[in-house]
Structures are given as structure tokens and as C-alpha cells.
Structure 1
Amino acid sequence: MEALLSLAFDNLSSYDGPKVRKGLRQVEGLLAQICLSSARDASPPSSPTRSSADASSTGGIKSLAELSQDLAFREFFKLQEGFEWNVAMRLVSTLDRLMGRGYSDGQNDLLILGALDLIQGVLLLHPPSKSLFSREQNMNLLLDLLEPVNCPAIQSATLLTLVTALIDTPRNTRTFEALDGLLAITSLFKSRSTTREVKLKLVEFLYFYLMPEVPSDPSKPGARAAAQRSPSKRARGRVGRGRRRLHARDGGEAGAPGPVP
């Protein structure tokens, strides 16, 4: 598995669009192998009249309980605990490079959509990776993708990624609030240029956001370790998201305002 991840990471770190696309497909293929049963063709259909298409569509998907007992999933989960093989971290870096190109075209938008979809999947398979979005720089990536300059498909995918990153993770929610994320959501909803489909996603997000916060289940893998982390202090400074992102990239050099007394 390390060899497969190494090949995928090499492609994801490239500035060449086709190589990035190849890396995304390699990660997608690895996740598909983990989530789908490899022995589905070995077991005969329960009915002789049942078609092979029905058998492949219903017999190969593993439940969450089955995944926790799968050796491939256990190996993948173990590798994600270290920064060297963490897929979510590499996908976030890839997303940052794609956004930093300074232009928008169909191919680049498709790569961004692919990265967002994979981030959602990885966060669901390895919930401790959600801690990446407790950092302002990474949360800002998602908030920047909600800007009106981005296409509706990217805005919708970003909202789904936000929900995945915030669910059962109060620390990420505090970072989202400290960066005026709720203001970004409401501003996008009020904008006349926002499409109906995106507004429906925004309503769904607000419905989720207004639900009472529930701590993570301590019985889930990695939840106990996440619960032991101290909650982050709510940021007091209020500056633009783009300026926060630039400050984070520059390593905290001069130009960032101090906290408001």
C-alpha cells in the first residue's frame, strides 16, 4: 500500500494537470479497493435468476462494521496516523496548488472537484484527519472556494466538504466561526448570482450548523485521541480571509494585525 500511495503522491505534487488527474484517480482506486469487497465474484448469487449486474451492485459494498474488521482498511487507517502517508494532507496541498494557479478553466475546475470529493471520502474513512481543518490556513481554502468567482459545482462540493469536516468536530467549528465562515455562507445565500441549486445546499448546511453539537463517539477509532486534544481558543482578531491565508503562507511575517482588545 505504501508503494501505491507513493506513486499517487508523486503525481499529486505535480503542477501538470494530467499528472494531478492521474494521482487523483490512483487515490480513488485505492479507496475503492478498500471499500469494495474483493470476494464478491466468488460467492454465487442467492437466486439462479438473479443477474450478474445485480450481484455486483449489491454484493460488493462493505458496511462500516465490516470495514473495521478488514485487514486492508486496518492497514490504511494505521498509515493515516502519520504525516508521511496521510492522504487528506496531500489532497489539501493539491487543492491549494490548484487554487493558486490564478485562473479558472474547465479542466482546473474538474481537478478541484475531484480533490474535494476525495477529501470527503478520506475524512469519512479516517475521522482523525478532520483535525487538519482546525488550522486556519486549511479552513480558508474551503471558504475561498465559496467565493462567487467559482462555479456552482465547486460551491456545492465545498459545502459538502465543509459538513464532513465540521460534523462531530467542535474544534473545527470554532475555527470556521473565527474566520467569519457563517458570514461567508449568508453572503453567498443573499447574492443574486448564486444559483438555486447552491442555495438549496446552503439551506441544508445551515440546518446542519444549527443542530446541537454532539461530541464524537468514544468507541469509534481515533475518537478517544481526538477527545483528549484541548479545544482551540476562539480567535479574537477579525481580518479578511484572503489576508489570513496570505499571512499563513508567509509564515507569520509582518503585516498581520494584532488581536482586538
Structure 2
Amino acid sequence: METLLSHSFDYLSSTSPQKIRKGLRQVEGLLAQICMSKTTNPANKRHSMLALGSTPPPSSPKKLTDLHQDPAYREFFKLQQSFQWNVCMRLISCLERLLGKESNGTNDLLVIQTLELIQGVLLLHPPSRELFAREIYMNLFLDLLDPQNCPAIQSATLLTLVTSLLDHPVNTRTFETLDGLLVVTSLFKSRTTSREVKMKLVEFLYFYLMPETAPAPKLTTSATNTAILGGRGKELAAAFADHRRRETINTQAGGEQDGKTRSTEDKQSILSKYLNNVQDLVEDLKEGGGPFGVGS
């Protein structure tokens, strides 16, 4: 796995669109191998191949609850704890370089693909979300929500932004500090914003208004590694769940941040400064009418 990551990182650091695309495909292939099940019954596989000619049966997605039992996932998680092999960091660096290039069809597709891979990595390795407590990285999302960018980039950015904020109130505080709500609501109010993007913006606002839960106590590095690499499935599952819930205040982000959680009412008060009729969104959310089906 280290060899594959090393090759993909070399391609991602290139200035050539062709090499960047190859690096992104290699990362995508790795994530697909981790997430997709393989046929384990030879008889079933032989029967399927006979029925379909020479085409092997399609793989099926693994359940999230089963991932901790997979050796490939365990190895991937272990490597992501290291700065040298952290995929999210490399994708962020690639995204920064892509943003520095002239906007065109080829570059836009690479940006979208990079954003989609960041989503996948953040779901497979939740601790990488801590990177977005830093303003320099959160600002990338806000730059991508510029009205001049194509709707596909804006939509992909909103989904990746949600993934970066999941279970991490500190990241949400960074988003608020950088006037992220102003960026989002301004895009929503703009007449040039496509209908598809406006729908994604409404979904994001529903997500933002959800009440936050207090983060679990931070695990030490040694305790984290012990839980992840201890060899017993229940320990890994518990550690994985803790990582999805825990919150870390990253003092390297330019000083301590407000790590306090906020209720729906708190967020309603903040959002009301930028958008009218927020009360309607809140009532819809509490009645379970939002896109996430969340009730009170």
C-alpha cells in the first residue's frame, strides 16, 4: 500500500493534468478496493461468470460496521495516522495547485474529482477532518464557492464541506469565523446561482442548523494507535466510533478557537443575520421535514 501511495503522491504533485488525473485514479482505486467486497465463494463466482459470459460479478459495497474487520482498511487507517502517508493532506495540496491554474474544462474536472476523493477519505479516516480546523484549509472551500465557478464545482464543494464539518464543532467555528455563512447565503441569494446549487445550499443550511453534540475527550496518540492496531475488532470499532465523535482544538490554526458546541437556537440567531425566514427552516427541521429526516 505504501508503494501505491508513493506513486500516486508523485503524480498528484505534478503540474501535468494527465499525471494529476493518473494520481487521482490511483487513489480512487485504492479507496474502491477498501470499500468494495470481493466474491469469496468460488462456486458462486464460477456460476456467475458462466451466466454472464466472461464478465466477473460486480463488487458490492461493504458495510461501514464491517470495515474495521478488513485488513486493508486497518492498514489504510494506520498509514493515515502518519503525516508522510496522509492522503487528505496530499489531496489538499493538489487542490491548492489546481486553484492556481486557469479555469477550463479539464481543470474543473480535476477539481471535482479531487473534492470527491477528499469526501471519501474523510469518511474512511475521520481524524483527517481535524485539518479543516485550520483557516488556510477551510478557506479553500469558500474560494471554491465563488460565483464564477461552475455549478458542478459548487455542488461538489458543498458536499465536501459537510463531510469536513461532521462531528467536528471546532471546524464549524472556523467556518463561521471566516464568514462562511455570508459566502453561502450570498451564493443562495444570487440570481446567477443555478437551481441545483440552490437546492444543495438549502440542504447545507439544514445540516448547519442541526444541534451539535459535545465532543468526547481527546485520545492521546499512543492510545489511538493502540486502539486502532490492537488486533481485536471491538477495540478498533470503539476507536473508530470515538474518532467520529471526538473533537480536537488545533492550536496551530492561529491560536485557540471557540470549541463550544451550539444548539439549533444559537445557530438560528447567527444565521438570521444573513438570511430571512430562518425560523421556517428550523420548524421544518424539528418536524422532520428536512432532507435529513431529523425530528426534534
* TM superposition score category, shorter chain reference: 0.7 to 0.9
Separation in 2 of the partners of 1:41 and 1:153? 40
For 1:215 and 1:142, how far apart are their aligned partners in 2? 25
Give the counterpart letter for 2:126 in structure 1.
P
Residue 193 (structure 2) pairs with residue 194 (structure 1): yes
Cα separation, partners in 2 of 1:180 and 1:37, compared to 1, 3 Å? same
Q: Post-superposition shift, 1:61?
A: 1.9
Query: Within the alignment, does 1:74 sit opposite 2:74 as a pair?
Result: yes
Distance in 2, Cα, partners of 1:224 & 1:27? 22
Q: Matched residues in 2 for 1:200 and 1:99: separation?
A: 25
Match of 2:132 in 1: 133
Q: Distance in 2 between matches of 1:7 and 1:119?
A: 18
> Is 2:252 the partner of 1:223?
no
* Alignment coverage as a number of residue pairs: 233
User: For the residues of structure 2 that align with 1:116 and 1:161, how far apart are their CA atoms?
Assistant: 6
- Provide the C-alpha distance between the structure 1 equivalents of 2:187 and 2:158, rounded to a whole number of angstroms: 11
**1:67-95 C-alpha deviation (Å, 9 max, x unpaired):** 11000100000000011000000000000
The CA deviation at 1:229 is 3.2
Question: Structure 1 residue runs of 4+, over 6 Å off?
Answer: none
Q: Give the CA deviation at 1:64.
A: 1.1
Structure 2: how far apart are the matches of 1:6 and 1:137? 25
Structure 1 residue 66, shift from structure 2 partner: 1.6
Whether the aligned pair in 2 keeps the contact of 1:128 and 1:223 (CA below 8 Å) is: no
Segments of structure 2 that go 5 or more residues without pairing to the other structure are 218-237, 251-255, 260-296
Q: Which runs of 5+ in 1 are unaligned?
A: 236-261
Could you tell me which residue of structure 1 aligns to residue 57 of structure 2?
Answer: 56
For the residue of structure 1 that corresponds to 2:162, the secondary structure is helix
Say if 1:41 and 1:56, in contact at 8 Å, map to a contact too. Answer: no
Distance 2:191 2:120 in 1: 32
Deviation at 1:182? 0.6
- The corresponding residue for 1:34 is 34
**In structure 2, do the counterparts of structure 1 residues 224 and 4 end up closer, same or farther at CA, with 3 Å as the change threshold?**
closer
Instruction: Report the counterpart of residue 100 of structure 2 in structure 1.
Output: 100
RMSD, aligned CA: 2.8
Q: Which amino acid aligns with 1:227?
A: R
State the distance in 1 between where 2:82 and 2:197 align. Answer: 36
**TM-score by structure 2 length?**
0.72
Normalised to the residue count of structure 1, the TM-score between the two structures is: 0.81
1:233 to 2:220 alignment: no
Q: Does 1:156 align with 2:180?
A: no
Query: Residues of 2 paired with 1:17 and 1:134: CA distance?
Result: 29
Q: Percent identity at matched positions?
A: 60
Which residues in structure 2 correspond to 1:173-192 (within 5 Å)? 173-192=172-191
